[in-house]
Amino acid sequence: MNYKRLETFLLVSTLGSFRKAAERLFTTQPAVSNRISALEEELGCRLFEREQGLGGIRLTAKGEELLPYAEKIVFMSNQLRQRADSELQQAGLLRLGVSETIVHSWLPSLMTALHEEMPNLDIELTVDVTSNLRASLIDHSIDLAFLMGPISEPQIVNEDLCSFPVHWVASPKLDLPDRCLKLTELQNWPIITYAKNTKPFAEISNRFKKIEDTPTRFFSSSSLAASMKMTLDGVGISALPSAVIQSELERGELVRLSVEWEPRELFFTASYATVPPNYLVRRACSRAVELAAEYRAE
């Protein structure tokens, strides 16, 4: 049985599109259609049918029945090839999506380790907020994501990575009192925080909404670097993860504030899709889990 046809069958069923499968396989849509037609002829049954009025495709009942067998054959074929050729295990493209907090902690160590262990591996790095990374992972635009998880999807695996406490910080220029501050006292300045489509922003903004006083001004940003710059310049008060502010606190460029309430820790997972199976993704994920553990221990 032709491996390429089975691989194409898996990709089309996963992506729900001949066009997207063709893009992933670096081929044309007619070539994908021909592979599926040839597989259907070989098996003697239809695998896909078009969804009326939706422009998409879906598996037939027989396609649903045969899909787990195709997944197993492709997985075992990959295992066989990787066992036979050690260089194959170290070559390919890894599309990696990362939350910016991870960039400021142990990501450079991971990139160095992957380069040393898999010198023929190409990495396409995307830094974005969790909501966008989640969407990209589900539609298979990226292979592996380090984000604020977990992701509750049937074909997504979530491995625990690390967590970072979030602290209130400000520039010494603001000359804030050295005592426990009430949230109402923070409202004298803009609150510099995460982008609006993130969990930290939702938690912080909801907490300030409970204050029956002057509305809080939020300066939200998808860039932690931008938030850090504004905080250092004394534009406002920030709630930032410990990994981002450690050096600035040690140099006295920022001061940690004692406040009556702090946001919860940020928990991160390494998340990836199980279909189609990908050895490089699993290996990179395992290495990331190891380095995150080492970072926590330090």
pLDDT of 78-97, one tens digit each? Answer: 767 666 655 545 668 899 99
Q: Is residue 231 within 8 Å of 171, Cβ to Cβ?
A: yes
Q: Does domain 3-84 have CATH number 3.40.640.10?
A: no
Query: Looking at residue 285, what is its pLDDT?
Result: 95
Tens digit of each residue's pLDDT (9 = 90 or more) over 139-187: 889 999 999 989 998 889 999 999 999 999 999 999 999 999 999 999 9
Task: Kindly state the average pLDDT of the residues 223-230.
Answer: 93
CA geometry: angle 124, 164, 206, nearest 5 deg: 100
* Fold entry, domain 166-264: D-Maltodextrin-Binding Protein; domain 2 (3.40.190)
Position 96 scores a pLDDT of 96
How much is the pTM?
Answer: 0.73
**CATH architecture of the domain covering 86-164+267-297:** 3-Layer(aba) Sandwich (3.40)
pLDDT at 135: 93
pLDDT at res. 85: 55
Rg of the Cα atoms in the chain: 24
Q: How is the beta sheet containing 191-194 ordered, strand by strand?
A: 218-221, 191-194, 237-241, 166-170, 255-256
**Count of alpha carbons within 13 Å of 91, Cβ hemisphere only?**
6
Check if 3-84 and 86-164+267-297 are the same fold: no
164-173, 256-265, 275-284 — which is least confidently predicted? 275-284
Q: Domain-by-domain residue ranges, the chain? A: 3-84, 86-164+267-297, 166-264
Q: Are 219 and 230 in contact (CB under 8 A)?
A: yes
